[in-house]
Amino acid sequence: MNDRTQHEGMDLVAKAIAGWLKGFILLFGVYLVLHSHETPGGGFAGGIIIACAFILFTLAEGQHAGMKLLSKHAAAKLASVGALIFLGAAIASACRKGALGADHAGILLFLEKNAMSLYDLALALVVSMLIYVVFSVTSAVHVTVKDGQRKMFRQRRT
Amino acid sequence: MVYALCLVLIAIGLYGVVVKKNVVKIVISLAIIEYGINVLLVLIGYRSGGCAPILQQGMTAATLVANSVDPLPQALVLTAIMINLGMLILMVAICIRLYERYGTFDITEMRRLKG
Amino acid sequence: MENALPFFVAIPLGAAFFIPLVSLTLKWVPDLLANAVMAVLAAMAFLTIGQAGFYHMGGWGTHLGIDLRLDGLTTLMLVTINTIGLAMAIFSVQYMTKYTSKLRYYSLFLCLIAGLNGIVLTGDLFNLYIFMEIVAISSYALVAFGCEHDELEAAFKYAVLGTVASAFILIGIALLYAMLGTLNMAEMAVKLAAGGMNMPLTVALGLFLCGFGLKAALVPFHAWLPDAHPAAPAPVSAMLSGVVIKTAGIYVLSRLIFNVFTVQLVPDLFSILRLFGVVSMIVGGILALGQWDMKRLLAYSSISQIGYIVVGLGLGTPLGLTGALFHMLNHSVFKSLLFLNAGAVEYATGSRDLRHLGGLSRNLPFTANMSLLGSMAISGIPPFNGFWSKLIIVLACIESGHPWLALAAVAMSLVTLVAVLKMLKRAFYEEHKPLTVHATEVPVLMRAAMLLLATLCVVLALLVLTGLRTPFLIAPAVDALSTWAGTAPGQGMGI
C-alpha cells in the first residue's frame, strides 16, 4: 500500500507545484463565488475553478490521495446538498413573495434578501462537486499499451 | 451567410453521427451538432455594433434596449450548454462501459441487438 | 390550485436530491419516500381536475417570465403520469431488489417524474425543451441501468437518436424565436395567427415533426424504441412505453400542432399526421408478430398503438381528438400493466424469451390473469377500456370520411390480438419448460401494482358512460386543444 501510494501520481516537481497552486486556485474560486452576484455567471465559473483545484490535486498526487481528500460518494452527497439548498431557497422565496399570503419575517426575509448569493453558493457547490465526480468516475480507467494493442482497465478500488 | 455556416457545422455533425463507426467519434459529432446550434442561437440575438446587455452606470433602460444585443438567446445558450454537458458526460460514461463489455469502440462489432 | 403548480416539479426533484443523502443502512427510506412522493403527486393531480389557471414563475408577467399553465389537457396528462408513476413506485419496491443500487434508481426515477410533470405544465417552449432533456437524460441512464451488453448498447442507440431529435427541436425553437420574438406558446399562437406562415416557420414545423416524431417513435423514426424499452428495468419500460413517449412526443406535438401552428396555417398537416399514424400502426403491429422477447413484442405493439393515437389526432375532428386522447390514457394504463407482467415473469423465471417459457398460469395464476386482462384491453375486447377508445377512433374515421383508415384500425386491432395471444399462449399456457417448473408467484407489492392498473383498465371503461362524445376528463382536454389557440393568458396570479 505504502509502496503504491509513493509511486502514484506525477513526479516530485509536479507534486510540489500542485501543492502550492491548489490553495491559490481554491482561494480564487471562493473569491469568484463570493463575488458572484456582481459578475456574470459567477457561481458557475467559481464552481468550475474549485473543481479544478481538486482535479489538479488528484492528477498530481494520484487517485488514492485524491479519493482520500474527497471521495466520490462524499462529493455526490455534497452536490445533492447544494441542489437541495437551491430548491429550498427557491421555495422559500416563493413562499415569502406571498404564495402563502402572510408576511413572513426572520429566516425567510434573510433568504429573500440574500437569494442571489445563496443561489450562487448552491450552484457553485453543485457544479464543483459534480465536475469532480465526473472527473473521478471517467478517469478511473487506465489505458496501457500491451503487445501493440491498446487496452483499457478500470482501476480497482483499494 | 453566417447562418449558413452554422448549418454547415450542424450538417458536419450529422454526417459524423451517420457515417462514423467509432462510438467516441459519434459522441464528438453530437457535440459538434450542439455547438452549431449554440452558435445559431447566439447569432439570432446578435445586432451589429450592439453592446453587452448589462445596465452600465449613466444608462437608462431605454438606451440599453435600443443598443444592446438580445440577452435571451444568450441565456438559452448557457442553459443548452449545461444540458449538453450532462448529455456528453452520460454518453462518455456509456462509452467507457461499452468498452469494458465489448473491448472495442467499433459500433459494427456491437451487434447483440437487431433492428 | 395555481400556487401548487410548481410543486409538481419541486416535490419529485427535491426527493430525488434527498435520496442520495440517505444512509446506505436505512434501506427502507428511499422506498418509503418515493412511494409517499408519488402518492402525494397522484392526489395533487386528481385535485387539479376541473381547474384551470396560470402561475407566473417569480411573479413576472407572461411576456417577461415563465408561465406554468393548467388546462384540461395538462390535467389529463398529470393524472396519467402520476397515477402510472405511483403504480411503478409500488412495483419497484420489491422488483428492484434484484438490481444493485436502489438509491440511484429512485433518484433517476423521480427526476424522470419531475421532468414529465414539467413538460406538461410549462407554457414556454424553451422551458419545455429543458424539461424534455431532463426526461431524456434520466431515461438514458435508466435504460443503461443494468450495465450489461444489451442495456448499454440500447442506451447508446437511444441516446444518440434522442440527442439528434433534441438538436432538431432546438433548431426549430431557435427559428421560431428568430421569427416571432417570443418563446411563450400562447403569444406565439397569437403572432402566428396574425403573421401567417413563411419559409423558416415551415422548416421549423418540419423539424418539430421529425424531432417529436423521433421522441414518439413514429415509424420512420422508431428504430430506437424496440431496443431501448426492453432493456430498461420493467417499471422503467412501463414508464417509457406508457408515459414518456406520449408526453415527450405526442403531447408536445399535439400542443404545437393544435395550439401554436393552427390548422388554418398548414392545411396539409393533418394528412401528414394521418400518414405517419397509419404507417406506424401497420408496421408496428406486423413487426410485433415476429418477436420472441416478451418486452420487445410489447414495445413494437406500443409503436402500433401510438399509430392509433396519431391517426386520431390527424383526423382533427373533436371525436377524433376524443378518441386519440382517450386511447392515450388507456394505452398508458394497459401497456404499463403488460410491461409489469413481463417484469413479473422475468422476476419469477429469469427469462423473458417466449421460446423458453410456458405453463406459467399454474405457477403465477395472478400474473396470468392480469396479463389476460391487459391483453384483452389492448386488443379491444368489449368490456375493457381499449375497446371504447378504439371504437371512438374508428367511428371518427368513418364520420370524417376515411373508411380505409377505419378498416386499417380494425384490422390492426386483430393483428394486435394475435400478437398478444401468442405472448399469452407461449408464456402462460402450453406445457412447462425447464425454466418455468419451479417458478413461484411474485411478491405482494408487485401484485398490488398490477391489480391497481388492472382495476384502472376496467374503471376507465366507465368513462364512456359519461358520454361517448364528451367523456369525463377527456372532454376538457379536447376543448383545450381546440380552443386554446389565440387566447393569450390573462392576469393570473400576479404575485
Q: Do B90 and C159 touch (CB under 8 A)?
A: yes
Chain C contact present for A84, CB below 8 A: yes
Q: How far is CA A91 from each of CA A43, B71, C11, C66, C460, rounded to the nearest angstrom?
A: 20, 26, 10, 16, 36
State the distance between the two ends of chain B, measured CA to CA, in whole angstroms. 40
% of chain C at pLDDT higher than 90: 31
Comparing C489 with A94, the larger pLDDT belongs to A94
Residues C441-455 have pLDDT tens digits of 888 888 999 999 999
Which residue carries 478511473 as its cell? A140
Chain C contact present for B72, CB below 8 A: yes
Domain span at A43: 2-154
* DSSP secondary structure letter of residue C63: T
Nearest to C202 by CA among C176, C178, C181: C176
Residues C149-159 have pLDDT tens digits of 788 888 998 99
Taking each helix axis from N to C terminus, what angle separates C294-315 and C403-428, rounded to the nearest 10 degrees? 160
pLDDT of residue B11: 92
Taking each helix axis from N to C terminus, what angle separates C385-399 and C365-378, rounded to the nearest 10 degrees? 10
Contact, C378 vs C336, CB < 8 A?
Answer: no
- Write the CB contacts of C391 (distance below 8 Å, at least 6 apart in sequence): C380
Q: For C217-226, what is the mean pLDDT?
A: 86
Using only C-alpha atoms, chain B has a radius of gyration, in whole angstroms, of 20
- DSSP H helical segments within C96-148, as ranges? 102-121, 125-143
Q: What whole-number distance in Å separates Cα of residue A60 and Cα of residue A53? A: 11
Q: Class assignment of domain B2-44+66-109? A: mainly alpha
pLDDT of residue C211: 92
Comparing C269 with C159, the larger pLDDT belongs to C159
Query: What is the CB-side half-sphere exposure of residue C246 using CA atoms within 13 A?
Result: 33
Q: For C458-483, what is the mean pLDDT?
A: 80
Which residue of chain C has the CA closest to A88? C14
Which chains share 3+ C-beta pairs under 8 angstroms with C?
Answer: A, B
Give the ipTM.
0.91
Q: How far is CA C155 from each of CA B15, B39, C104, C200, C231, rounded to the nearest angstrom?
A: 21, 28, 17, 33, 8
Comparing C83 with C185, the larger pLDDT belongs to C83
- Write the CB contacts of A14 (distance below 8 Å, at least 6 apart in sequence): A60
Q: What whole-number distance in Å separates Cα of residue B46 and Cα of residue B50? A: 8
Contact, C132 vs C125, CB < 8 A?
Answer: no
| Domain range list for chain B | 2-44+66-109
Q: What whole-number distance in Å separates Cα of residue C374 and Cα of residue C367? A: 10
Residues B67-98 have pLDDT tens digits of 777 888 888 888 898 899 889 989 988 888 88
Which chains share 3+ C-beta pairs under 8 angstroms with A?
Answer: B, C
Q: For A110-127, what is the mean pLDDT?
A: 73
What is the least distance, in Å, from the CA of B20 to any CA of chain C? 12
Write the single-letter amino acid at C105: Y
Q: What is chain B's mean pLDDT, rounded? A: 83
Write the single-letter amino acid at C490: G
The whole-angstrom distance between residue C258's C-alpha and the CA centroid of its chain comes to 19
pLDDT of residue A109: 58
Instruction: Identify all chain A residues contacting B90, using CB atoms and an 8 Å cutoff.
Output: none
Q: Residues C280-313, buried b or exposed e (16+ Cβ, 10 A)?
A: bbbbbbebbeebebbbbbbbbbbbbbbbbbbbbb
Q: What whole-number distance in Å separates Cα of residue A122 and Cα of residue A33? A: 10
* DSSP secondary structure letter of residue C251: I
Which residue carries 392526489 as its cell? C43
Nearest neighbour of B93 by CB, restricted to A40, A138, A152: A138
pLDDT of residue B47: 75
